Chain A
Amino acid sequence: DGGITQSPKYLFRKEGQNVTLSCEQNLNHDAMYWYRQDPGQGLRLIYYSQIVNDFQKGDIAEGYSVSREKKESFPLTVTSAQKNPTAFYLCASSIDNTRGGEAFFGQGTRLTVV
């Protein structure tokens, strides 16, 4: 079955550490996205990628980095520069970044700083 997979589901990080969240899709989608969700707030866009080897900052990119070396994969690194990283992180993909195609979401990674 095609889908989008995020791992791990739960992640604990010590302050000052970098951590990488995995996102893989086998839907053959060109566009991929990373969102952050905090309680009482909507999803906020961190980074997005329209095609392999290209990505753009979203609304809250500071303290995060991404890569898009393969079409299927779009990992997100939460760096020590991100001052408040505890949140629910959602990865999504869509067929095309220029048309109104629906976005498919992974199951999310809940990151907690300890």
Chain B
Amino acid sequence: GQNIDQPTEMTATEGAIVQINCTYQTSGFNGLFWYQQHAGEAPTFLSYNVLDGLEEKGRFSSFLSRSKGYSYLLLKELQMKDSASYLCAVSPGLTGGGNKLTFGTGTQLKVEL
């Protein structure tokens, strides 16, 4: 089966750094995705990790440990527009049915002044 856990809500201050964690247990693994979703809008792609380590892309970084079934999304220099839901999703790969993603429930991040 597939199980993905992430915190429901987080609050952080503008200009600060926040780390959103995601743990997963899946029948197969072909990569982990992070998406950002503003209320009522489509999710937009942030990052993809398939190998262990840190992937950096501007203010956003994502880390993966396959042995621990763990990932985090790191957001630096927070801005008010970063207030959104952050979705962790796992691709099970061929053993689990191709690239159909399994999503966590999302972490609602609120950035305050």
A binding-site residues for B, Cβ under 8 Å: 31, 33, 35, 40-45, 48, 50, 56, 58, 88, 90, 94, 96-108, 110
User: Which residues of the other chain, B, contact A96 by a CB distance below 8 angstroms?
Assistant: 99
Q: Which residues on B sit within 8 Å (CB–CB) of A56?
A: 97
Q: Tell me, rounded to whole Å, the shortest Cβ–Cβ distance linking A85 to chain B.
A: 18
Asked if A50 contacts B98 (CB within 8 A), the reply is: yes
Inter-chain contact A43/B30, CB cutoff 8 Å: no
Q: Which residues of A contact B99 (CB under 8 A)?
A: 31, 94, 96-101, 103
- The answer to whether A40 touches B42, judged by C-beta atoms less than 8 angstroms apart, is no
Residues of B bordering A, CB below 8 Å: 4, 8, 30-31, 33, 40-45, 48, 50, 87, 89, 91, 93-94, 97-106
In the complex, what residue of chain A is closest to B47 when comparing beta carbons? A102
Using Cβ atoms and an 8 Å threshold, which residues of chain B touch A33? 100-101
CB distance from B31 to the nearest CB of A (A): 3
Question: For residue A58, which residue of chain B has the nearest CB?
Answer: B100
CB-based contact B48/A41 at 8 Å: no
| 19 new A-B contacts at CB < 8 Å, known A43-B101, A104-B45 | A31-B98, A33-B100, A35-B103, A40-B8, A41-B105, A42-B106, A43-B103, A45-B100, A45-B101, A50-B98, A97-B99, A98-B99, A99-B30, A99-B99, A100-B30, A103-B33, A103-B99, A105-B43, A108-B42
Contact in complex: A43, B87 (CB < 8 Å): yes
